[in-house]
Amino acid sequence: MEGKKTKKVYIVGHKNPDTDSVCSAIAYANLKRQISEDAYIARRAGLLNEETQYVLDHFGVEPPKLLADVHLQVKDVDVNRTPGIKSNTSIKEAWAMMKEQNVYTLAVTKEQKLEGVIATGDIATSYMDVYDSRILATAKTQFQNIVNTLDGEIVTGNPNGYFDRGKVVVAASSPDMMENFIEKGDLVILGNRYEVQLCAIELKASCIVVCQRAQVTRTIRKLAEDRNIVVITTPHDTFTAARLINQSIPVKHFMSKEGLTVFNSTDYVEEIKHEMAKKRTRDFPVVDKKGNFYGLISSRRLMDASKKRVILVDHNEKTQAVDGVEEAEVLEIIDHHRLGGLETLGPVYFRNQPVGCTATIVYEMYKENQIAPDKTTASLLCAAIISDTLLFRSPTCTWMDEKAAKELATIAEIDMEELSRNMFQAGSNLKGKTAEEICFQDFKQFTVGDVRFGVGQINSMNADELGEIKGTLLPYMEKAALVQKVDMVFFMLTNIVEESTELLCYGKGAKEQVIEAFDLPADMGDICLNGVVSRKKQFIPTFVVSFQQ
């Protein structure tokens, strides 16, 4: 679809992402970009497991970037990205930039680092509260600033030099009177009278400003050059020149630089609102992660801030969703799991179908929009269905999943048997992984009443490999419960070939509850669940119903 893609929408699966959540996010983002003007971006909410990494590598697809949370950050707000100005910029130039850009504050920077801020109030101070005739020298004002402010031209002298001693005077009297108030180093504003210009030079002024574009004679120019005196001509009269000249002062003299409240682009909006409320400042500078100036932000812009917009795939429970989802604007949920009670800020498009894989639903949406997935997208969707249905062995698999997978395999030109073997082998190859990495690579939390429990799962076609994983995980179960803040931890070691699961249990009454739920012998040692390969459709429903009773 033509048109500028403006608003970002993140499409993201659950924490501890599996192949379905990642591939479905990528494929759905691809579809949405073709049927909508917004910018849909696939993201992941956690680390990729080995199986998913294999699938992406095999089909040459870049992994989605990590979306750690969806709390609104400063960088998500309409930050004023006006670039910083140099500290030697004149007050007049800064004021002109403010009017042109319709802003009240400018940042002063050096090599992208923040030095201070100059606001309209600071400029008002320079006009209304400054009566010191030596302020130009105190501020070390560059002669080029004076030339620009007075719309003048430099006749002789170095424009890059600085007026750094003396005062500003207007020579409106005779040469005899001038000797009483002009000192060495002064800047003298005068007219076209030759004798007054000559007197200012003889009194060792450092700069003379000749008004009304009066001609400067060769003699005056030569005398000024010999004494390193800067001569500037301006079209303005002496009154106007005297009124304007303070506007040539560099902003560094009036800018605020001590005790600034500076925010980072990654700061959370909810946190900085409270800090802003304590200050009477209108605009606050923002820096990025490298400490470089990023922009300016006001409390008004925060009020108008839009929440991050997300689409959730392959889950609908808050415990499985990316952090901060309660603050985001959830636009859609595409899922195939039980309803998990995720609350949204407004109505959403919610598509939940009793199929074995979210990718099956996404493929149906392609067909409904009469868009054929490209070969790579078809490969990802097919791999997701293979993963979630254990190549149609899982009881969660439906005829829709199998039909979709076969159609996608034809488009992608792939052998599903060969792909599944390689995927499952990659997924169960956990050499070099810590117990923590193994435990949480496919781990989901659930809540029944006041009890929270977590269930992890590893699928393998190799019984010996599952035995090694068991030995690694058993000593870690207690810590897993503490890390996840749950009352019980279960881990499913699923043998795809034998279509059975050995269940590891931890927590008060955990094993007893499983024995009761699955009607197993009370004195059973290791828990073996024959025919159970699906966490979603076999283990969780049976366990939850038993627990509730």
CB atoms within 10 A of CB 190: 22
Residue 244 has pLDDT above 70, yes or no: yes
pLDDT-derived band of residue 6, with 50, 70 and 90 as boundaries? low
Q: What token pair was written down for 389? A: 């249905």
Which domains are seen in the chain, by residue range? 8-72+308-427 (3.90.1640.10), 91-253 (3.40.1390.20), 435-548 (3.10.310.20)
d(CA 501, CA 5): 47
CA 13 to chain CA centroid, nearest Å: 19
Nearest Cα neighbor of 497 from 536, 460, 528 is 460
Check pLDDT > 50 for residue 2.
no
**Mean pLDDT over residues 505-527, rounded?**
92
**Amino acid 302: pLDDT:** 75
Higher pLDDT, 363 or 130: 363
Q: In Å, how far are 42, 102, 488, 500, 524 from 529, measured between CA atoms? A: 36, 70, 18, 6, 11
Name the nearest CA neighbour of 532 among 504, 507, 506, 498. Answer: 498
**Please, are residues 90 and 251 in contact by the beta-carbon 8 Å criterion?**
yes
Distance CA 485, CA 487 (A): 7
Question: Measured between alpha carbons, how far is 339 from 219 in angstroms, rounded to an integer?
Answer: 94
Task: Tell me if 7 sits within 8 A of 38, measured CB to CB.
Answer: yes
Ranges 95-109, 231-245, 296-310, 438-452: which has the least confidence: 296-310
Are 314 and 13 in contact by the 8 Å Cβ rule? The answer is yes
What would the mean pLDDT of 358-385 be, rounded to a whole number? 97
Look at residue 44 and tell me whether its pLDDT is greater than 60.
Answer: yes
Residue whose entry in the numeric block shows the structure tokens 């739920």 = 517
Instruction: Look at residue 77 and tell me whether its pLDDT is greater than 70.
Output: yes
**How much of the chain exceeds pLDDT 70, in percent?**
98
Among residues 172, 149, 125, which one has the least CA distance to residue 244? Answer: 149
- Give the separation between CA 288 and CA 294, rounded to whole angstroms: 6
pLDDT bracket for residue 129 (50, 70, 90): low
Mean pLDDT to the nearest integer, 130-148: 89
Task: Report how many helices (DSSP H) and strands (DSSP E) the chain contains, helices first.
Answer: 21, 23
* Helix (H) / strand (E) containing 367: helix 358-368
Mention every residue, 6+ apart, whose C-beta is less than 8 A from residue 396. 336, 355, 356, 357, 388, 389, 534, 536, 537
Q: Please compute, for residue 246, the number of CA atoms within 13 A of its CA located in the half-sphere on the CB side.
A: 18
Look at residue 220 in the predicted model and tell me its pLDDT.
93
Q: What's residue 209's pLDDT?
A: 96
Task: Assign 1 a pLDDT band (cuts: 50, 70, 90).
Answer: very low
State the Cα–Cα distance between residues 189 and 242, nearest whole angstrom: 7
| Average pLDDT of the residues of the chain | 90
Closest by Cα among 239, 276, 246 to 261: 276
Scored b (16 or more CB within 10 A) or e, 509-524 reads ebbebbbebbeeeeee
Q: Output the six-digit token pair for 51.
A: 């199986």
Contact 163, 245 (CB under 8 A): no
pLDDT of residue 130: 61
Query: Would you say 48 and 27 are in contact if contact means Cβ atoms under 8 Å apart?
Result: no
| CA atoms of 495 and 240, how far apart (whole Å) | 91
Pairing of strands 500-506, 488-495: antiparallel
Instruction: Write down the pLDDT at residue 174.
Output: 81
Residue for token digits 């269930």?
A: 455
CA angle 97, 101, 104 (to 5 degrees): 80
> Is the CB of residue 283 less than 8 Å from the CB of residue 296?
yes
Report pLDDT digits (tens) over 156-213.
Answer: 999 999 999 999 999 977 887 888 889 999 999 999 989 999 999 999 999 999 999 8
> Which residues neighbour 521 within 8 Å (Cβ) at sequence distance 6 or greater?
515
Predicted confidence at residue 3, as pLDDT, reads 42
Angle at 95 between CA 89 and CA 99, to 5 degrees: 135
Compute the average pLDDT of residues 4-30. Answer: 90
- Judged against a pLDDT cut of 80, whether residue 431 lies above it is answered with no
Residue 451 pairs in a beta bridge with 448
Q: Is the pLDDT of residue 4 over 50?
A: no
Contacts of 535 (CB under 8 A, 6+ apart): 444, 455, 457, 492
214, 235 Cβ separation under 8 angstroms: no
**DSSP for 127-182?**
HHS---TTHHHHTTEEHHHHHHHTT-EEEES-TTSEE-SS-EEE--S-HHHHTTT-
Q: What is the pLDDT of residue 374?
A: 97
pLDDT tens per residue across span 258-305: 888 999 988 888 888 888 888 878 889 999 989 999 999 887 777 667
Supply the DSSP symbol for 526. Answer: S
d(CA 498, CA 531): 8
Per-residue 3-state assignment (H helix, E strand, C coil) for 440-480:
HCCEEEEEECCEEEEEEEEEECCHHHHHHHHHHHHHHHHHH
Single-letter amino acid code for the residue at 157: G
Pairing of strands 293-298, 283-287: antiparallel
Per-residue CA distances from 264 to 8, 272, 322 (Å): 21, 10, 22
